[in-house]
Amino acid sequence: MEQFTTLTSVAVPLIRDNIDTDAIIPSREMTSVSKTGLADGLFAGWRYTMIGGRDPDPDFVLNQPAYANARILLGGANFGCGSSREHAAWALAEYGIRAIVAPSFNPIFRGNCVRNGILPIAIDPVPLAAAAQPLTIMLKDQVVVDVAGAVWSFEIDEEAKAMLGGGLDGIDLTLLRRDAIEAFRDADRVARPWAYL
């Protein structure tokens, strides 16, 4: 997973409350269990003019030239609600989104974002003046800064910060404790030899 340290990007305003995971990646777009091949289905119900088609709707924000290659998404409250499908985070990551700024997140979706290299930032209200403007996000300092110098602080738990800052997935994070795990196993092998036949 790519390390997250500092990110500067234009911010895409998709300010709608209760954007659920079926809107982020409709079930009809999930044709495999792989993390790849999902970017085209991201917001497919809104990005394209007809269901199942691939003609871009020029009115949808991600199709507008000002937001080409944007890596920051501004959302509404309860972002990522609905089903727990991890495909939603996979589609956002493959598309190139590295951070989402919203007033609140569904907890399962928030966890899926962290495990897939996307920084979920809860700020209320969302800095709307930043839409179409570059924002800079500094994970170490836990701040978002706009081009005018306005600063918004955000909270993130230490485990999530370590995962994103170190580019670690759940397995990598566990392996950081390899010595303690092996010491426990060695002691347990002595205490319960019958369990290690």
Domains of the chain, each with CATH number or no CATH? 6-166 (3.20.19.10), 168-197 (no CATH)
Amino acid 106: pLDDT = 97
Amino acid 128: pLDDT = 73
Check whether 101 has a pLDDT greater than 90.
yes
Q: What is the pLDDT of residues 109-162, one digit of tens each?
A: 999 999 999 999 999 888 776 666 899 999 999 999 998 899 999 999 999 999
Confidence tier at 169 by pLDDT (50, 70, 90) = confident
- Assigned token pair, 16: 């709608």
Q: What is the pLDDT of residues 2-25, one digit of tens each?
A: 999 999 999 999 999 999 999 999
CA dist 25 and 97 (Å) reads 14
Amino acid 56: pLDDT = 94
Confidence tier at 190 by pLDDT (50, 70, 90) = very high
Amino acid 31: pLDDT = 84
Looking at every residue in the chain, the average pLDDT score rounds to 93
Q: Taking a C-beta distance cutoff of 8 angstroms, is the pair 44, 29 a contact?
A: yes
Region of poorest pLDDT, from 68-72, 90-94, 146-150: 146-150
Amino acid 33: pLDDT = 82
Check whether 85 has a pLDDT greater than 80.
yes
Residue 138, CA distances (Å) to 28, 142, 154 in order: 36, 6, 10
